[in-house]
Structure 1
């Protein structure tokens, strides 16, 4: 893009934190433009209006060295006076969702009007004003997130987004410099779609209460959550509140709050039925300025209400709004995530507040309904639905660990989420962006951040080597599911530099021993943080193997051979060092030459999944894990529960994996009433909606429905159902070449019908399960391909040798087919 706009700001705000800036530019058009394109970005966040109409918000979270900008083309420009208006929030502090930079705004409009060019760009002619409607004196929600919001509508200039607003008293913008100034040295056009915004109303009103304001309530205090938590809720008295049961209904005066006594407040508790991520919104009217409306949020209830100060709350989740006179709408600026919303009305005096609506402006990554799964077990259908929804809630401008507490792109979490996404949604843009942004975090020594883009709130950096080992696997997975070799060529050098950094930490035995970083892969207790650790080295071995495969794919044969040899040597060192004949399992670590007495489920699961042990021994180890006899450190995150599913599938134990999904995700979590999957197995820490818990969606589609890529990008698609005890399954798997729909049904004792369909001709590798019975007759679209114990050659079908009892054959140039076994 040819930039002529300049970065602008108000210099007296540069050293402040948690401040908001209004910026606007009016201009005249002789006629309505035939084409227009507006590009913009800001540090930290912006909202954009054109001629008073909301256009959007952004930008995508970025490393300022590769600053994303957004593009808008559907603009309501008119003949005559027009205005572009922004309000910009500047954090002024780094967080796990923001890399600290200076405040700044950049905007450029290019168009064609009456045959000539139109150009409007940020420069010294723009008008700006610091907004004192938002108080900067609010605390952070937690160390990971931004600030509590406290907005006074009476201090906001009315009509400032409109063309005819008089902005002459505002200051002129100060130019920081042209495009290319530090820290925004490179600008990158947004490479993911704009997030979708739509209104969601509460499912029901759970409770209404009164409360007495304690002395000092009029004094502005920094911690709104503390004020909310101090309120003693009592039964509502007559006349305080009318019609609030209809608060979810669009329309005038669906709830009326009346101030009937001094120092009295009203509290309304709303349940949205499931978690929603977005912006809490209220529409109301009142003739009193200064009524206080407090919003408190939670994924769960504590003693029947939203507790803003408990340890379980894991932060301060509340915002405040002060009314002006008249009809008004307020929307929280930065995203929140909640199931339960508590709205407290105070400082009422004798005022009447008519509530038109309370809602969430949901803010979601725009996935389609490409992936689907349905089977004869309603419990599994419910598990699939919750998994899909959990993942979707954790997709915004990146893969977030969870939408409520952190909203951070943790690398290990994102690897798991991307895998599930390929099946549930088939989106490649968010995964591609994730891979590139983690590579941007790489330092000169080759190490990487465990979450990015972000600033570590305690200063310094944050190294979790296992997470970045999984970035390498995520890069390979992306190639397998997308077929895009270009990204391997682009990012393989980063993977090699990271591998070199880790190799510097190897000891003489070729294993990784002690080095700086957080030894994290699960929330289990009693995981040893020193010595030569089995789990570290198993992940390390897998990473080296992935690098070898990538190097071979892009034609770096010398690198591929070297890395493959290293992986073989490391696998042997792992077996030699950590296997205990006495315990008949892998020990967790070796320290000062002595094997530990501690063993974990994690080591047995990884050794099986990664092929460090043979399948027969791996199956035996996993049976002991599933028996749960307590002799090993157990799993305490749904992240590693998902790796257990991968390990069981790797050794053809899909039936056991299916039972585990039912017993673990199904009975245990549904009995807790979960509408989304939590972070940990025991609910003792973490979030109640966590993307890494969505594993069942991809397991059910890849292993039970049975659809997997047999060649990168699904150039050839494998169909290998594992029926277990199910009677029928149908589903659709998104692929870059078009969606593949599969349906199969069992007919006792050995019959099966399998239907495959896609929008274009493609090649399939079909593995028809034996189900413990010899094959009788098998037909393809009515013509025999197996009869009397022998394969029958036919057009577009050929037999493939199989090491199992399954019948394996390849279909060529097929759009749809029906396979029947009798």
Structure 2
């Protein structure tokens, strides 16, 4: 079934076609899986949380150095060739059109007998990065002499080691936890394995007559599965378990286990290493275990990491490891369970030396906690930790200033950003791994400067575009189906699209997305009343603007929320709408639609005037946040910042408003970390007056996290205690200092798409010198400036094809 029929008009190609159409002038490429068959166990039954093993044996006359494996699955896969791991990881996509991967596997093949083994996982319930589809696996292994395809030559069985079916949810955003019993791992991935009667051949004749998704090539690079992260046993002891019923959730048990510290020399045999991986291993004395508990270990990887859980150990069969992961030890243990969220799993040991890697879901955090029970004779731990998984990017940007704290903030912000990039931008790799528009706008803006990465944000943008609903708003996350959405995020997504054009110069991407933007704008302009956009009032909308009081739409998340009472207009929503209108105008102009560009700009000008007329409080000398509804008087830093950024505040009032915004005791509800972007940008319109204040605020807030031991930046300044003790300590939107160091201290901003024309206006009131590199599609811009006794000195190198703007920028004229 082609996904283009219901969602995509003729002016907007389906995602499965857009890349080929752009690159090949409208022609589509050959689908290497066209002759393969979607397969699954038991006729394709779609019970939730299924782990299914597939084995396909074949013979080659010669080794095939250039062989490729093309593969797609709903929901995840891991591949082994002749017992050696090849790759894993389905791209997050939509059930009616799915991405396939092309994996180079020739180096794993051999002359003679070969075996392809695949563990496939089907989630089967919606989450924040997955939409329930039909369980299935499809593949084609192409060699010079033959092609091996999924179909009747494939054998399958339900995994005997993984627990399939209903399990506790880790979080609503992530999906299920897992359990694994290594005693039932019969080494099925090895070449010499012989299949027993439980294995079945897939019956293509008996397979149900089903409509399967169309396929397109993965739009971004595959993730790198890298080395093990080193871990260190930072504390240890014995634990006692309380009231462990048969249906008890592992994470909740671990959270409530009684812990009693022991010195390492009393727990471990002499000669073991507390640092892992260890060739000699860490041997635990069997006498430390008892019937209702055992030994606990807390392992520290020294910094936030993201990857696949991996274990290597030697044990007797039936020994149980309960394993939790987390970002802090605020409770003097890993916080395994909080507010119905579960960050733990169970591994039952087989007999002897064994290695296990869970490829179906990434974990993130700094710490692991192991509760080990059932040991009577032997337990030796060689490794427990994460095998790092990263999106392959280079740090093409470079920033250097005289202040060591700011240099460290930039480095940690870049790492935070990288930790939140996998199949798409993620808010947090620990708790959600979800793509939100507000978060991803911050992330993309930073990534252009430090990574010079354009394909990745483009793919994230397209995922959002596929979530456009009939009301003109996007789904809350992508790919996902959510019962509610955040209206302002849809508008910031349009801003993100125009920024992608500006930084990447990719007019093809803009041309693909402009159809969605036009449909959105037409829908929302129809909801303007008396010059203002009406706030959507049903329970389908979470009118969220920031996490501070009066801005977080808190009641909207309550189970019995019925929507807004009465008619309401929100200044933040209207200001985001203005930004979206102007961004849509610039996109339309770049795509040759000048009529739409002029219309959007004229509409934006009208809404700006209405915002000032309706929301400006001359007595308070500030903009109200709300009009109508049940909200009382509310004045926020965010509202003032947005009014300044959107140029809705008339110039005579702008300078005094900035002055008030800059004050510590300004009487306004403050912004949080992510929305500080707008406050900083508003103040930096007067860089000599407020530059020092902005970068002092970055030093205070982001420096506070560093001085608190952060190795990545947090969701909010409250850290782990935020959101009922479920705050994230690695959040992509908090990478925003990167943008301000490059765009303001180095001072380089694009004026025309792709930096074809760029502006350099460094803020020189903060440091006496700075230097760095800014990647562009044309090459690297190198900047070095300093203040000397003879005045300001600037050294600039820029690539051929780019031009420095020599005069003040002209106002945007959509009709020009």
Question: TM-score when scaled to structure 1?
Answer: 0.87
Superposition pairs of residues 21-420 of structure 1, within 5 angstroms = 21-33=52-64, 35-75=66-106, 76-113=108-145, 118-136=146-164, 137-158=166-187, 160-169=188-197, 170-175=199-204, 182-184=211-213, 186-202=214-230, 204-214=232-242, 220-236=246-262, 239-242=266-269, 246-260=273-287, 261-263=289-291, 264-286=293-315, 288-311=316-339, 315-333=341-359, 334-348=361-375, 350-420=376-446
After TM superposition, the structure 1 stretch with the greater mean CA deviation from structure 2, 513-522 or 61-70, is 513-522
| Secondary structure at the counterpart of residue 755 of structure 1 | strand
Deviation at 1:682, TM superposition (A): 3.1
Distance (whole Å) between structure 2 residues aligned to residue 340 and residue 240 of structure 1: 20
Q: Does 1:717 align with 2:758?
A: yes
Q: 1:407 to 1:34 in 2, by over 3 A?
A: closer
Query: Could you tell me whether the CA contact under 8 Å between 1:5 and 1:107 is conserved in 2?
Result: yes
State the partner residue of 2:683: 648
Distance (whole Å) between structure 1 residues aligned to residue 261 and residue 670 of structure 2: 45
Distance (whole Å) between structure 2 residues aligned to residue 801 and residue 10 of structure 1: 66
Deviation at 1:677, TM superposition (A): 1.5
Distance (whole Å) between structure 1 residues aligned to residue 66 and residue 535 of structure 2: 61
Q: Does 1:526 align with 2:550?
A: yes
What RMSD, in angstroms, separates the aligned Cα atoms of the two structures?
2.4
How many residues were matched structurally? 750
Query: Could you tell me whether the CA contact under 8 Å between 1:252 and 1:356 is conserved in 2?
Result: yes
State the partner residue of 2:794: 754
Unaligned runs of 5+ in 2: 1-30, 554-563, 811-816
Q: Does 1:621 align with 2:621?
A: no
Q: String of CA shifts for 1:801-820, please: whole Å, max 9, x gaps.
A: 699xxxxxxxxxxxxxxxxx
Q: 1:651 to 1:179 in 2, by over 3 A?
A: farther
State the partner residue of 2:24: none
State the partner residue of 1:513: 535
| Secondary structure at the counterpart of residue 35 of structure 1 | coil
Superposition pairs of residues 446-465 of structure 1, within 5 angstroms = 446-456=472-482, 461-465=483-487
State the partner residue of 1:738: 779
Deviation at 1:394, TM superposition (A): 0.6
Q: Does 1:472 align with 2:494?
A: yes
Distance (whole Å) between structure 2 residues aligned to residue 32 and residue 109 of structure 1: 13
| Secondary structure at the counterpart of residue 800 of structure 2 | strand
Alignment counterpart, residue 550 of structure 1, candidates 572, 587, 591: 587
Q: String of CA shifts for 1:97-126, please: whole Å, max 9, x gaps.
A: 21111210000112213xxxx111100220
State the partner residue of 2:3: none
Query: Could you tell me whether the CA contact under 8 Å between 1:8 and 1:176 is conserved in 2?
Result: no
Q: String of CA shifts for 1:182-210, please: whole Å, max 9, x gaps.
A: 351x2111111111122243453321111
Deviation at 1:431, TM superposition (A): 0.5
Query: Could you tell me whether the CA contact under 8 Å between 2:268 and 2:285 is conserved in 1?
Result: yes
| Secondary structure at the counterpart of residue 549 of structure 2 | coil
| Secondary structure at the counterpart of residue 225 of structure 1 | helix
| Secondary structure at the counterpart of residue 447 of structure 1 | coil
Distance (whole Å) between structure 1 residues aligned to residue 334 and residue 712 of structure 2: 18
Deviation at 1:509, TM superposition (A): 3.5
State the partner residue of 2:12: none
Deviation at 1:247, TM superposition (A): 3.8
| Secondary structure at the counterpart of residue 266 of structure 1 | strand
Deviation at 1:318, TM superposition (A): 0.6
Alignment counterpart, residue 639 of structure 1, candidates 674, 678, 681: 674
Deviation at 1:762, TM superposition (A): 4.2
Deviation at 1:134, TM superposition (A): 1.4
Query: Could you tell me whether the CA contact under 8 Å between 2:231 and 2:276 is conserved in 1?
Result: no
Q: String of CA shifts for 1:296-318, please: whole Å, max 9, x gaps.
A: 1111113311132344xx71101
Distance (whole Å) between structure 2 residues aligned to residue 509 and residue 78 of structure 1: 70
Deviation at 1:265, TM superposition (A): 1.1
State the partner residue of 1:772: none
After TM superposition, the structure 1 stretch with the greater mean CA deviation from structure 2, 644-653 or 22-31, is 644-653
Q: 1:595 to 1:54 in 2, by over 3 A?
A: closer
Query: Could you tell me whether the CA contact under 8 Å between 1:507 and 1:513 is conserved in 2?
Result: no
Query: Could you tell me whether the CA contact under 8 Å between 2:44 and 2:208 is conserved in 1?
Result: no
Q: Does 1:679 align with 2:720?
A: no
State the partner residue of 1:598: 634
Q: String of CA shifts for 1:10-68, please: whole Å, max 9, x gaps.
A: 13662322120000101111112253221001111000111111111121110122211
| Secondary structure at the counterpart of residue 413 of structure 1 | helix
State the partner residue of 1:499: 521
Query: Could you tell me whether the CA contact under 8 Å between 1:21 and 1:89 is conserved in 2?
Result: yes
Alignment counterpart, residue 730 of structure 2, candidates 689, 694, 698: 689
Q: 1:294 to 1:482 in 2, by over 3 A?
A: same
Q: 1:270 to 1:40 in 2, by over 3 A?
A: same
Distance (whole Å) between structure 2 residues aligned to residue 528 and residue 369 of structure 1: 35
Larger Cα-atom Rg: 1
Query: Could you tell me whether the CA contact under 8 Å between 2:43 and 2:206 is conserved in 1?
Result: no
Unaligned runs of 5+ in 1: 767-798, 804-822
Query: Could you tell me whether the CA contact under 8 Å between 1:107 and 1:122 is conserved in 2?
Result: yes
Alignment counterpart, residue 536 of structure 1, candidates 570, 573, 598: 573
Q: 1:307 to 1:435 in 2, by over 3 A?
A: closer
Distance (whole Å) between structure 1 residues aligned to residue 667 and residue 50 of structure 2: 54
Q: String of CA shifts for 1:300-343, please: whole Å, max 9, x gaps.
A: 113311132344xx711011111111111112331110111112
Q: 1:661 to 1:738 in 2, by over 3 A?
A: same
Query: Could you tell me whether the CA contact under 8 Å between 1:511 and 1:573 is conserved in 2?
Result: no
| Secondary structure at the counterpart of residue 169 of structure 2 | coil
Query: Could you tell me whether the CA contact under 8 Å between 2:231 and 2:385 is conserved in 1?
Result: no
Q: Does 1:434 align with 2:460?
A: yes
Query: Could you tell me whether the CA contact under 8 Å between 1:578 and 1:595 is conserved in 2?
Result: no
Q: String of CA shifts for 1:617-653, please: whole Å, max 9, x gaps.
A: 3342233223232522222x31111221222223434
Question: TM-score when scaled to structure 2?
Answer: 0.88
Distance (whole Å) between structure 2 residues aligned to residue 646 and residue 178 of structure 1: 58
Deviation at 1:214, TM superposition (A): 4.8
State the partner residue of 1:703: 744
Q: String of CA shifts for 1:693-746, please: whole Å, max 9, x gaps.
A: 110011101100112213210112322222223132121111111122222222
Distance (whole Å) between structure 2 residues aligned to residue 277 and residue 244 of structure 1: 30
Distance (whole Å) between structure 2 residues aligned to residue 535 and residue 55 of structure 1: 49
State the partner residue of 1:794: none
Deviation at 1:485, TM superposition (A): 0.9
| Secondary structure at the counterpart of residue 467 of structure 1 | helix
